[in-house]
Amino acid sequence: MTLLDVEDVTMRFGGIVALDGLSFSIEEGHICGLIGPNGAGKTTMFNVVSRIYQPTLGSVRFRGEELLTVPAHAIARLGIARTFQNLALFPTMTLLENVMVGAHSQGRVGFGKAISRISAAGDNRRTRDDAGDLLHELGLGHLAFVPAAGLPFGTLKRLEIARALAARPSFLLLDEPAAGLPHGEVDELGHTISTIRDQFNLTVLLVEHHMSMVMSISDRVVVMEFGRKIAEGTPSEVQNNEKVIEAYLGTTT
Amino acid sequence: MKSLFTIKSGGAASWAMRLAVAAVLAALMLWVPTRGSDSLIEVCTTAFTLMAAALSLNLLLGYAGQISLGHSAFFGIGTYTTAVMVTRWGWSPFHTLPVAFVLAFVVGVLVSLPALRIKGVYLALVTLALGMVFPQFIKWKKLSWLTGGAKGINDTGFKFTKDNPTYEIFGWNPWGNLRGQNVKPFYFWVGAIIVLVVYLICRGVVKSRVGRSLVAIRDNSTAAAVMGVNLPVTKGIVFGLSAAMCALPGSLSAIRTGTVTADTQLLTVAGSITFLVIMVVGGAGSLWGPIIGAAVYQFIIERTGGWTEPDAIPALFRPFFGWSKTAPGGGLFAIALILLMFVAPLGLVGLWRQHSVRLCRVVPKPAGTTTISVMAAAPAAVDETHTA
Query: Which ranges of chain B does DSSP label H, i.e. alpha helix?
Result: 12-35, 38-57, 71-89, 96-115, 121-139, 144-147, 184-206, 209-219, 221-226, 231-257, 269-282, 289-303, 318-321, 329-343, 347-359
Cα separation, B156 vs B148, whole angstroms: 12
Helices (H), A50-152: 75-78, 95-102, 111-116, 120-137
Between CA A136 and CA B220 the distance in angstroms is: 25
Distance CA B196, CA B52 (A): 8
B385 Cα to chain A: minimum distance (Å) = 10
CA separation for the pair A121, A205 (Å, rounded): 35
Burial class (CB in 10 A: 0-12, 13-18, 19+), B68: buried
When CB atoms are compared, the residue of A117, A131, A192 closest to B377 is A192
Q: Which of B208, B219, B230 is the closest to A90 by Cβ?
A: B219
**How far, in Å, CA of A41 to CA of B120, rounded?**
30
> What is the Cα–Cα distance from A153 to A161, expressed in whole angstroms?
13
Statement: B5-364 belongs to CATH 2.60.40: no
Find all residues with CB under 8 Å of B71, minimum gap 6, and list them.
B53, B56, B57, B127, B131, B242, B243, B246, B271, B272, B275, B276
Which residues in chain B are closer than 8 Å to A144, comparing Cβ atoms? 364, 366-368
Distance between alpha carbon A243 and the CA centroid of its chain, in Å? 26
b/e string for A39-66 if b means 16 or more Cβ within 10 A? ebbbbbbbbbbbbbbebeebebbbeeee
Q: How far is B317 from chain A (nearest CA, A)?
A: 39
Q: Which residue of A has its CA nearest to B363?
A: A145
Nearest to A191 by CA among A209, A205, A212, A170: A212
For residue A205, give how far its alpha carbon lies from the nearest alpha carbon of chain B (Å): 16
A94 beta partners: A147
Q: What is the pLDDT of residue B338?
A: 87
Please tell me if residue A75 touches chain B, with a CB cutoff of 8 Å: yes
ipTM over the 0.90 cut-off: yes
Distance CA B370, CA B351 (A): 35
Choose, out of B215, B218, B226, B234, the residue to mutate when testing the contact with A (most A CBs < 10 Å). Answer: B226
Collect all residues of chain A within an 8 Å Cβ-Cβ radius of residue B239.
none
Distance from CA of A227 to the nearest CA of B (A): 23
Residue B95: per-residue pLDDT: 87
Element (H, E) at A46: helix A42-49
Å between B379 CA and nearest CA of chain A: 6
For residue B16, report the phi and psi dihedrals to the nearest 5 degrees.
-60, -40
Sheet holding A65-66, edge to edge: A16-27, A2-13, A57-62, A65-66
For CA atoms A105, A108, A112, A117, the dihedral sign is: negative
Alpha-carbon span A221 to A227, nearest angstrom = 15
Q: pTM for this structure?
A: 0.89
* Residue B355 burial by Cβ neighbours in a 10 Å radius (0-12, 13-18, 19+): exposed
Q: How far is CA B228 from CA A49, A249, B206, B217, B337, in A?
A: 14, 41, 18, 11, 37
Which helix (DSSP H) or strand (DSSP E) does residue A32 occupy?
strand A31-35
Q: Which candidate from B207, B231, B371 shows the least CB-CB separation from A73?
A: B231
In A, minimum Cα distance to B206 occurs at A114
Count of positions (residues) in chain A: 253
Residue pair B156/B259 in contact (Cβ under 8 Å)? The answer is: yes
A158 close contact with B: CB closer than 8 A: yes
Q: Which residues of A touch B366 (CB under 8 A)?
A: 132, 144
| CATH superfamily label, A1-71+205-253 | P-loop containing nucleotide triphosphate hydrolases (3.40.50.300)
pLDDT of residue B144: 87
d(CA B357, CA B22): 21
Report yes or no: B265 and B10 within 8 Å, Cβ to Cβ: no
Q: Which residues of B touch A105 (CB under 8 A)?
A: 227-228
- Which of B36, B257, B289, B239 shows the shortest CA–CA distance to B156? B257
A187 part of contact set with chain B, CB < 8 Å: no
Residues of chain B with pLDDT under 70: 1, 159-182, 322, 324, 370-388
Q: Give φ, ψ of B385 to 5 degrees.
A: -65, -20
Separation CA B175–CA B87 (nearest Å): 24
Domain spans, chain B: 5-364
Q: Sign of dihedral through CA atoms A77, A82, A88, A93?
A: positive
Can you list the residues of chain A whose pLDDT is less than 50?
Answer: none
Chain A, nearest residue to B385 by Cα:
A146
Residue B370 has its nearest CB partner, among A113, A128, A133, at A133
pLDDT score of A9: 94
Produce one character per residue of B13-48: b if its CB has 16 or more CB atoms within 10 Å, e if not.
ebeeeeeeeeeeeeeeeeebbeebeeebbbbbbbbb
Give the three-class secondary structure for B40: helix
From the CA of A51, how many Å to the nearest CA of chain B? 8
Alpha carbon B38 to its chain's center: 23
Flag whether residue A102 sits within 8 Å of chain B, measured between CB atoms.
yes
pLDDT digits 0-9 by tens, B116-172: 888 788 899 999 999 999 999 999 888 888 888 888 888 887 766 544 555 454 555
Question: CA of B236: which chain A residue's CA is closest?
Answer: A111
- Phi first, then psi: give them for residue A77, nearest 5 degrees: -70, -25
